[in-house]
A and B are shown apart, each in its own frame.
Chain A
């Protein structure tokens, strides 16, 4: 659709002056043509998500998420952390193996437990070669550090992982009461009947994300991969062996990780593209049209300053917002933010379909 005055090809135009290139695509000459982005999508159109789980054989749970040309692999590896190895470990007297947390106080204590003992360790690596801007042999870029902080914060604030499924108990009196822990028990440790069950160790989940290819919108892809991998995670049934002083895992029996409590939070990101590249943002600059581009790719991200990310969960009844991050501009105000909830809800149902 090159105009006659254009003597060079589309890729050359895009490379030479990316901002006018995207602007020309978004504001077509004839009113009959719909505005589209350089990647052929409509402004409010996101890339379809593809999810494959359990593709890594040595991880306890894994997922590969593809959204356009952004591909991210997430592996969850669980390691056992005996409580004796935790500095400043403080046992909670109210904890019981079968206790269900209902009150708000317990909920807050559970959250604090995950946080103070560092039971969730996400790490994001933007691999060399996944996009031209990432150079080899440098320390983690500020983008990678920002992403892992955001994933870490969201994992904790959503309460995705139930700490109950990360605890490894030693129950001298009632080994047989817990069928999942008694698979390969020799029943040789029944010396004290009255002893209450003791919390001996925790599972620590190392959640590693690797960007195989990077084409914008890293947070949405990373978060989808984390959620898919955690839902796929199966921890081996573990019991505490007091004689050897270590946790013993079952070879065959695996328990799926409980991630039901956090629901299914889905992230949805958009960027704001402004007509004037170096204009005053708003106010004094006069008329400055803008487009809200859902699920921006790498070219669009480099041209947009303002981004908004909303994490929503529409699982039960009213839409719950789990996180909002809006920064870098003043275009999106209260009204646009409200409208964006609807866009995020649509994205949520798309991602939920892909998760099934």
Chain B
């Protein structure tokens, strides 16, 4: 299982869409396209704000109830960060195609599963945010997300960032947290069996990954080893910086 630990991203991979992004992290690869603001259909349009339409396509098979649930989670989160009031009666459409997901080598996985797939949510959200940035859709804030699993280890418990499918099988609880760039909690999804104290610890771990201040990322990156996991906010920023530098290279 060659799973990359560092996230990778490419912007504007699709030539005809308004914005697009390809993102891969922890074995998940997602491609997103964003079109908008475009004219909304009469039955969908809202008089005061833009409609955000999210479509999730699974890696294999047709979408089912699980994809509808993912769409509703992403839709409500993304409408919070996009300035939807600036575009009344219009539509911003985000299409997310899952390209690959990590396989659990120990068991036969079924193609169609109905239960909620937690670790895919950060990948989908991150790709959507990158594609929205690439489409230059005005946003109030960007968002970063991470997934943390609490895995039993003997008598104690251990927190695993970006858990593997094997970790997920034995995990006591799985948590997805997303933060805006103003350090506000945007999305929190958890399942399993846990206490308030454990949730607090998970919150701190996720916050450290999602909301590391930009200054420390520059200076003590090398010595900051105890903070496990990638620095998502820095990643988002450096991806955009690279893209802008490439675009303005002719100047």
Interface residues, chain A, CB within 8 Å of chain B? 88, 90, 104-105, 108, 112, 115-116, 142-143, 145-146, 148-150, 152-154, 156-158, 278, 280-284, 305, 318-330, 332-334, 337-338, 341
- A142/B200 in contact, CB under 8 A: no
Q: A145-B65, A323-B190 are in contact. Are A278 and B185 (CB under 8 A)?
A: no
B220 in contact (CB, < 8 A): no
Find the A residue at minimum CB distance from B116. Answer: A153
Contacting residue for B199 out of A90, A104, A142, A324, CB 8 A: A324
B residues 159-183 near A (Cβ < 8 Å) are 169-170, 175, 180, 182
Q: List 30 A-B contacts (CB under 8 A).
A: A108-B169, A116-B110, A142-B68, A145-B65, A146-B65, A146-B72, A148-B65, A152-B114, A153-B115, A153-B191, A154-B191, A158-B193, A278-B85, A281-B80, A281-B140, A282-B182, A283-B140, A305-B79, A319-B196, A320-B194, A321-B190, A321-B194, A321-B196, A322-B191, A323-B191, A324-B191, A325-B188, A327-B189, A328-B77, A337-B188
CB-defined contacts of B107 to chain A, threshold 8 Å:
112, 116
- B194/A327 in contact, CB under 8 A: no
B187 in contact (CB, < 8 A): yes
- Tell me what chain B mostly uses at the interface: helix, strand, loop, or mixed: mixed
- A150/B69 in contact, CB under 8 A: yes
Find the A residue at minimum CB distance from B177. Answer: A326
Interface residues, chain B, CB within 8 Å of chain A? 48-49, 64-66, 68-69, 71-73, 76-77, 79-80, 85, 107-108, 110, 113-116, 140-141, 152, 169-170, 175, 180, 182, 184-196, 199-200, 203
Contacting residue for A149 out of B48, B110, B114, B169, CB 8 A: B114
- B48/A334 in contact, CB under 8 A: no
Contacting residue for A330 out of B80, B200, B203, CB 8 A: B80
CB-defined contacts of A145 to chain B, threshold 8 Å:
64-65, 68-69
- A149/B77 in contact, CB under 8 A: no
CB-defined contacts of A154 to chain B, threshold 8 Å:
191
CB-defined contacts of A338 to chain B, threshold 8 Å:
196, 200
Q: A104-B170, A149-B114 are in contact. Are A334 and B185 (CB under 8 A)?
A: yes
- B115/A330 in contact, CB under 8 A: no
Query: How many Å lie between the Cα of A333 and that of B178 in the bound state?
Result: 11
Q: A149-B115, A324-B189, A334-B185 are in contact. List 20 more A-B contacts (CB 8 A).
A: A142-B71, A142-B72, A145-B64, A145-B65, A146-B65, A149-B66, A149-B116, A152-B65, A152-B114, A282-B182, A282-B184, A283-B182, A283-B184, A321-B190, A324-B190, A327-B187, A330-B180, A330-B184, A333-B185, A334-B200
- A329/B80 in contact, CB under 8 A: yes
CB-defined contacts of B64 to chain A, threshold 8 Å:
145
Query: How many Å lie between the Cα of A326 and that of B76 in the bound state?
Result: 10
- What distance in Å separates the Cβ of A203 from its nearest Cβ neighbour in chain B? 19
Query: How many Å lie between the Cα of A124 and that of B114 in the bound state?
Result: 14
Which has the most chain A C-beta neighbours within 10 Å: B80, B200, B203? B80
- A341/B68 in contact, CB under 8 A: no
Query: How many Å lie between the Cα of A112 and that of B72 in the bound state?
Result: 26
Contacting residue for A328 out of B80, B85, B180, B182, CB 8 A: B80
Find the A residue at minimum CB distance from B83. Answer: A280
CB-defined contacts of B48 to chain A, threshold 8 Å:
278
- B76/A149 in contact, CB under 8 A: no
Q: A325-B189, A341-B196 are in contact. Are A305 and B76 (CB under 8 A)?
A: yes
Query: How many Å lie between the Cα of A154 and that of B68 in the bound state?
Result: 16
CB-defined contacts of B175 to chain A, threshold 8 Å:
324
Which has the most chain B C-beta neighbours within 10 Å: A105, A150, A154, A332? A150
- What distance in Å separates the Cβ of B170 from its nearest Cβ neighbour in chain A? 6
Query: How many Å lie between the Cα of A334 and that of B186 in the bound state?
Result: 11
- What distance in Å separates the Cβ of A149 from its nearest Cβ neighbour in chain B? 4
Contacting residue for A322 out of B184, B188, B192, CB 8 A: B192
CB-defined contacts of A153 to chain B, threshold 8 Å:
115-116, 191
Find the B residue at minimum CB distance from A329. Answer: B80
Find the B residue at minimum CB distance from A342. Answer: B196
Find the A residue at minimum CB distance from B85. Answer: A278
- A156/B196 in contact, CB under 8 A: no
Query: How many Å lie between the Cα of A154 and that of B115 in the bound state?
Result: 9
CB-defined contacts of A157 to chain B, threshold 8 Å:
115, 191-192
Q: A282-B182, A319-B195, A324-B189 are in contact. Are A149 and B140 (CB under 8 A)?
A: no
Query: How many Å lie between the Cα of A326 and that of B187 in the bound state?
Result: 6
- A283/B141 in contact, CB under 8 A: yes
